[in-house]
Structure 1
């Protein structure tokens, strides 16, 4: 069986002076909602803010935040660009090629990736199996960008190795698989039905469904007992996850991943347990529950 590895726990050497999420756009982000609730619950005297930063302003924004001793998160479309703009990346950020969490140490920005933790937590909730059973499960991943990289690393750490990537640009998917040293079958979108028909888990790591009601793939392609994970999240379920659940499949959107990556970031910044129940409560939600797989 292919070896798998767990990424080591990372903690910041210095607590941030302030917290902020950078994105473009960023007004829709729910991170301030649950992070501010967590800060209040743990009596940490900081406020978590949003900053809308266009791509051509990212370098200046990061320099300013480093001077302030700040920490925070980075979201679309800056995760991959940030890897070249921080002073140092943690091993998991280097491996994924994306930064979604940062903090300052002695005036230098450190880039990290907690999306891996969020993806792993969701996959474990959907398919609570050991590594040997995971190794027998066929997984189809849609997409080959930064989110797909984090998801592949999470799958690898959990022992999944029967992996297929469906990507419009197959060369990009091949490059991703080779860079991560995670073998995967690479197929174009016109092969999606063939590979999904044999899958035990299908994961959407594309932005399809983020801003409209488009579906990443037809629900009818899913075989019986196939679980589904959509990294996209919206208030209420994404249309795809709503349809998948109606068809009787175990399925989650990206909300657990959002909370878990945020909880991992919180624990990295402050080295205290994240109050997950409070974070979920701030979103007027609770972790989805599932029956036996």
Structure 2
């Protein structure tokens, strides 16, 4: 398959990694190495502990054998200052979870390219659950993942979103960004206890256990919850959701699909260009994921 991606960069040995803190239980190496093995590429993808404020020294210490990096928060925002070429989505959101070292026009130079694959990962996770189009949706949480969720929901056709935020006064940026996409956001205060959710799709962007106090109430059986927190799985929120007839989707699905787009970006420099025989690659990536969420005791990070 690698022959279809003809650049010399693709055929040579390259290094990649996911950065963050903590990062020791990340599933990203499993996903990426499965993809590169299936593609026949001699690439090695690892993980590296890099905290806030440590990104630039790490980048400056990398050799020419490095091809790309996956980034977790808060590095997704910190990297923006160092990127020289970005996809339209990164330019729009000012959030990048993917960095690629490309050859510059001058000999010996490297250009830092950035992409955001989180949005597409959320979209694909919802599509896999049967959500192709929708007019309304709900988002729980108001951080960086909420921004990507709003963009994904807009791409799926949503024109109104109810946003549940612990501190509604901090959600102004989300409201303004969504307005640019033709989406009206109604911000309400998130508290524990019973929570009526009336849209056919809900994305919870809260970290692990942060949604444990929520008692969901659905408008109809079959409503879909994408819970980006997948350790442990099923989460308390997902268990309650399923008990009242809803469909709960693990954040592992989002992780899988955003990784597929990252592989595209590392191979082609284009996160929208499909890989050779991509369904086979996706199956290989899915096969290395733990069944039914995470094994007890494992606490992976995106």
Range of TM-score over shorter length? 0.7 to 0.9
Which 10-residue stretch deviates more, 24-33 or 66-75? 66-75
- The equivalent of 1:189 in structure 2 is 190
What CA deviation, in whole Å up to 9, does each residue of 1:121-142 have, x standing for no partner? 111122334x4xx12xx31101
Confirm or deny that 1:62 pairs with 2:65: no
Query: What pairs with 1:24-103 in structure 2 (closer than 5 Å)?
Result: 24-65=21-62, 68-103=65-100
Q: Distance in 2 between matches of 1:13 and 1:183?
A: 46
* C-alpha contact (below 8 Å) 2:147/2:174 kept by paired residues: yes
Instruction: Return closer, same or farther for 1:218/1:147 CA change in 2, 3 Å cut-off.
Output: same
Confirm or deny that 1:222 pairs with 2:226: no
* C-alpha contact (below 8 Å) 2:163/2:185 kept by paired residues: yes
- The equivalent of 1:244 in structure 2 is 241
TM-score (norm 1): 0.82
Query: What pairs with 1:167-186 in structure 2 (closer than 5 Å)?
Result: 167-180=165-178, 181=180, 182-186=183-187
Query: What pairs with 1:1-293 in structure 2 (closer than 5 Å)?
Result: 15=10, 17-65=14-62, 68-105=65-102, 106=104, 107-129=110-132, 131=133, 134-135=134-135, 138-180=136-178, 181=180, 182-190=183-191, 196-209=196-209, 215=212, 217-219=214-216, 221-225=217-221, 226-234=223-231, 236-271=233-268, 272-273=275-276, 274=278, 275-285=281-291
Deviation for aligned residue 1:56: 2.1
* C-alpha contact (below 8 Å) 1:90/1:112 kept by paired residues: yes
Q: Distance in 2 between matches of 1:38 and 1:151?
A: 25
Q: Which runs of 4 or more aligned residues in structure 1 lie more than 6 Å from their structure 2 counterparts after TM superposition?
A: none
What secondary structure sits across from 2:95 in the alignment?
coil
What secondary structure sits across from 1:233 in the alignment?
coil
- The equivalent of 1:3 in structure 2 is none
The count of aligned residue pairs is 266
What secondary structure sits across from 2:199 in the alignment?
coil
Cα RMSD between the aligned structures?
A: 2.6
The structure with the greater share of residues assigned to strand is: 2
What secondary structure sits across from 2:69 in the alignment?
strand
Q: Distance in 2 between matches of 1:200 and 1:216?
A: 21
What secondary structure sits across from 1:185 in the alignment?
strand
* C-alpha contact (below 8 Å) 2:19/2:70 kept by paired residues: yes
* C-alpha contact (below 8 Å) 1:100/1:114 kept by paired residues: yes
TM-score (norm 2): 0.79
Instruction: Return closer, same or farther for 1:68/1:55 CA change in 2, 3 Å cut-off.
Output: farther
Deviation for aligned residue 1:31: 0.5
Q: Distance in 2 between matches of 1:147 and 1:13?
A: 35
Instruction: Return closer, same or farther for 1:85/1:66 CA change in 2, 3 Å cut-off.
Output: farther
Deviation for aligned residue 1:245: 1.8
